[in-house]
Every structure is written in C-alpha cells, then in structure tokens.
Amino acid sequence: MKKLIAYVAVILVICLGLGATSHQLAASQGAGGDKVLNLANWGDYIDPSLVKQFEKESGYHVNLETFDSNEAMFTKIKQGGTHYDLTVPSEYMVEKMTKAHLLVPLDKSKLHGLNNYGHYFMNKSFDPGNKYSLPYFWGTLGIIYNDKFVKPGSVAHWNDLWNKKYKGSIMLIDSARDIMGMGLVSLDKSMNTTDTATLEAAKAKLDAMSGNVKAVVADEIKMYMENNEAPLAVDWSGEASEMLAENSHLHYVVPSEGSNLWFDNFVIPRTAKHYKAIYAFLNFMTRPKNAAKNAEYVGYATPNDAARKLLPKSVKNDKQFYPDKTTMDHLEVYKDLNPRIVGVYNDLFLEFKMYRR
C-alpha cells in the first residue's frame, strides 16, 4: 500500500509539474502572457513575414485573430471576453467605438515617426487629433472601366454613368452608404447629408440610371470585371487594385468632384493588457521600410508618406490609387450618422434596388 501511495504521489508530482510548465508556456505565448501581442485584424491584411520579423526583433509572440466585418469585431469587444491588444476598425467604427467608450487613448510619448504620416490622413473628423487611432491603410470609392468597351477618358465623373449608352453595363457595389453617396455627389451634395428631402432626391436620381445597372452585388464584381463580363463598376479602391492586377484592360477613376475617403486604423481596445508590446508593434509598423513592404503585400494605399517614397515608381506615382491634390481635397470621410438617418439611407437604397427590377 505504501508503495502504491508513493507511486501515486510521484504521478501527482509529475502531473503538477507538467501543469505548471503548460501554464508557464501559455503565459508566455497565450492571450494572457507578458511576452505577447493579441492582434485582431481583417483577413490577409498584413504581410506574414513582417509579423515574423517583429517577433524575432522584439521577442513578443503575435496571436492573430481575423474578423470579416467592423460590426462583428465591435460586438465581440463590447460583449467582453476578448483579449485584443490592437484591432483595425474602419473610420466610422472608430467614431462608434469612441462613443461607446471601448477605446484607450494613445500615449503619443511612446510613439515614434508620427511625422511620417501625410496630413490628409491625420486629424480627421472621426478622431480629431488622432486621440485614439493611427491610420493603417486608406482608399477611395470610384469607377472601374474596361477599355475593351469604354473609351479611356470618357468616364471620369459620376454623372457619366447616367449616359444611356451604358444601358445594362454597370455593376454597383451592394452598399447603401456608398451608392447613395454617389447619388448625392452627383447632385453636388455631401456624402454625409442628413436632410431627408435631399436623400430622396438622390434616390430619385439613382432611379433614373437604373436601366444602366447590370447588377448590384458584392464580391461578384471582381469575377465580372476580371473576366470582361461587364464594362463598368462602382467599387472601392482596394477591390479595384485586385481586379487591375488580374486584367490589364481595367482602369480605376476617382471622380474629382468628390467621393469617399475611407480608412482602416490601429486602435487600442479597452481589453488591452500588453502595452509594451502594443507600442513596440505600432512603432515597428510605422517604420517607412516596414510600412512600404506591407503596402506592397496588401496592395492598398499607405498613409505613411515616408513609406510611399520607397515604393516602386509605378505604384507611388499611380494617380488611380494616389489621386492628385484637387481630387484629394474633395474627398469626404463618412461620419457615424445616427441610427434613424442610417435607416433612411438603407430604406431608400433598398427601394432603388427593388425599383430597378
């Protein structure tokens, strides 16, 4: 019996030792450890080699979790139970998260290279003074055309899409805010309009172009455009860059009279715990060489002007994705409108989609 008791005791000691070792390993590499960074990001939205380089340089392990919508990420953080140290919301969501008290202010004294960022991308309405956010990537809403069907230069403005010669030719992104916004700009109105009568006028104008619309879809636009199955589309610059890479006949235009300027941004949610890792990572990603490498991998425009200078000339001088000053001066960032107005946008857009059928 004593031998049995001793044997059991030895087993217990071994199990306890293994448990302690496992706990220590989890503490050093898991969500709750000191040498870790818990990052929530969009899928395939960072160069994996940069993550490995950061881990090697800093000694911090990056736990990467992905999300597919701002709303999904917002809900998880609001409900609690996450361990995110950094996440990457779009501009309107930064504003929403700020109002919901879900963000921690940035400690600017711990950030290096803030002067690398261009003035167009800092101190925007969704986060005055960049109290909570650092820009990660940016882009626009614009028009994609196929030069096999559309003469270059013939589509440069939103109103060009109303030309009857484009009957059944245009793919529209399935986004109420963007397509209603296109209608508003075509009337020389703000994309953040809250006046119901003006919104109804924009919808009426969209109805007038419904015969030109081939389909209102989302990801399917890529397939149609890449396969030469549609002459025109309205979509975001990030999506456009992927299409252009697959089809040399495609081109992207940002109407100079106005469009949307969108941002994805680094923010620190209230769930954050590993502040040394957070600032080490933000400073690492702010380095021009690293930001440039990341921009080449992701294919989106970088807000880091010092990084842009390091990009190939064919990229940094491409006015499709780095528009000229006149166009940039007319771009608008979406505001986080109140739910009632958002409902009006959504209802009018739904009516437009039903009308065209």
Q: How confident is the model at residue 208 (pLDDT cuts 50, 70, 90)?
A: very high
Which pLDDT does position 23 carry in this prediction? 37
Which pLDDT does position 27 carry in this prediction? 37
Strands (E), 190-332: 213-217, 232-236, 250-253, 259-269, 331-332
The reported pTM is 0.85
The 10s digit of each residue's pLDDT in 134-146 is 999 999 999 999 9
Choose between 248 and 218: higher pLDDT: 248
**288-298 and 275-286 helices, crossing angle to 10°:** 80
User: How far apart are alpha carbons 45 and 302 in whole angstroms?
Assistant: 13
Three-class DSSP labels, 295-317? HHHHCCECCEHHHHCCCCHHHHC
Domains parsed from the chain with CATH numbers = 10-137+263-316 (3.40.190.10), 139-261+318-355 (3.40.190.10)
Q: How confident is the model at residue 80 (pLDDT cuts 50, 70, 90)?
A: confident
Which pLDDT does position 29 carry in this prediction? 43
3-state secondary structure (DSSP) of residue 215: strand
Which pLDDT does position 356 carry in this prediction? 64
| Mean pLDDT, the chain, integer | 91
The 10s digit of each residue's pLDDT in 306-328 is 999 999 999 999 999 999 999 99
Which pLDDT does position 32 carry in this prediction? 52
Which pLDDT does position 20 carry in this prediction? 40
Does residue 10 carry a pLDDT above 70?
no
Choose between 241 and 6: higher pLDDT: 241
Percent of the chain with pLDDT over 70: 90
CA distances from 264 to 22, 126, 274 (A): 37, 12, 22
Which pLDDT does position 81 carry in this prediction? 80
Q: How many Cβ atoms are within 10 Å of 29's Cβ, its own excluded?
A: 14
CA distances from 12 to 9, 17, 213 (A): 5, 8, 71
The 10s digit of each residue's pLDDT in 236-295 is 999 999 999 999 999 999 999 999 999 999 999 999 999 999 999 999 999 999 999 999
Stretch among 20-29, 69-78, 295-304 having the lowest mean pLDDT? 20-29
Stretch among 18-27, 117-126, 137-146, 158-167 having the lowest mean pLDDT? 18-27
Q: Classify residue 222 by burial, with Cβ atoms within 10 Å: 0-12, 13-18, 19+.
A: buried
Task: Produce one character per residue of 92-106: b if its CB has 16 or more CB atoms within 10 Å, e if not.
Answer: bbbbbbbeeebbbeb
Average pLDDT (143-150) is 98
Going by C-alpha positions, the residue among 38, 118, 52, 110 that lies closest to residue 81 is 38
DSSP track, 57-106: HH-PEEEEEEES-HHHHHHHHHH-----SEE--BHHHHHHHHHTT-EE--
Q: Which residue has the tokens 């992104």?
A: 173
Choose between 7 and 202: higher pLDDT: 202
